[in-house]
Amino acid sequence: MANVVGNWGGGNVWRVTSGEFSSNAYFCEAQVEGGGILIDAGLDGETIDAELREHGFHPHAVYCTHGHFDHTGSASHFQKKYGSAVFVPKADLKLMKASNFLLMAMKIQHKVVLPEATLVAPDHVADIAGTPLRYLPAPGHTPGSCIIEFGNAWFTGDTLYARGVGLSHLPGEDHAVLKQTILGYWQDLTPERTIYPGHGNAADGESVRTGNAALLNFLGLAAS
């Protein structure tokens, strides 16, 4: 189901959750063809597409926070159907190409068709109807993981959750690097910034900083 879960400062943010992993796909309304952009694409493109079409939307482009299959898996659906450009962090190309191997290893009955992706650097900036969309480097969960900043919104993939910690224990994950990444953005987690994670609910930055006990413990910041 598609629900409005916030506003990036220039339009609504819709969340569509589907698939075995219940990963979040976010549609940000903007003055572009199709009515907006998609940030992260789960495995079930048909479901995500149908939910968006109910509201008259389809994505002008798909921006992925990292290369795992539950965030890139249906990007090719939108590319084939609507001609949506797909953007993926360059350092995660190998992970994206391993999608079907990982699905098979995890005994998930699904086959991913890889998109023809534009590979982006961790400082990539796109212009969305006059508003910059910025990729911010956030390695740790994967080598190429990024936070996508759009207006007052941060789409954090599996780097940062509102509650809990996004540990996959899959190849390429580095807990020490992830800790340093999160600590590097710690002071940017303000009440004015909304965090939209790859799994779970959105929250303002301050509540993530003060209310996520599992994260504080992971970072070694929990009160003794």
Contact criterion met (CB below 8 Å) for 134 and 166:
no
Identify which of 141, 125, 142 has the alpha carbon closest to the alpha carbon of residue 133.
125
Give ∠ CA 85-87-88 in degrees, rounded to 5.
150
DSSP structure class, residue 36: E
What digits encode the pLDDT tens for the residues 193-218? 999 999 999 999 999 999 999 999 99
The string of pLDDT tens digits covering residues 30-82 is 999 999 999 999 999 999 999 999 999 999 999 999 999 999 999 999 999 99
| Model-wide pTM > 0.85 | yes
| Strand partners of residue 173 | none
Give Rg (Cα) of the chain: 16
**Under CATH, which number does the domain 2-218 receive?**
3.60.15.10
Alpha helix positions (H), 37-169: 45-53, 69-72, 75-82, 93-97, 99-105
Classified as helix, coil or strand, 182 is helix
Rounded to an integer, what distance in angstroms lies between the CA atom of residue 26 and that of residue 42?
Answer: 10
Structure tokens at 36: 């907006």
Give CA 93 to chain center in angstroms.
Answer: 16
Domain regions of the chain by residue span: 2-218
User: Model confidence over 107-165: pLDDT tens digits?
Assistant: 888 899 999 999 999 999 999 999 999 999 999 999 999 999 999 999 999 999 999 99
User: Tens digits of per-residue pLDDT, 31-40?
Assistant: 999 999 999 9
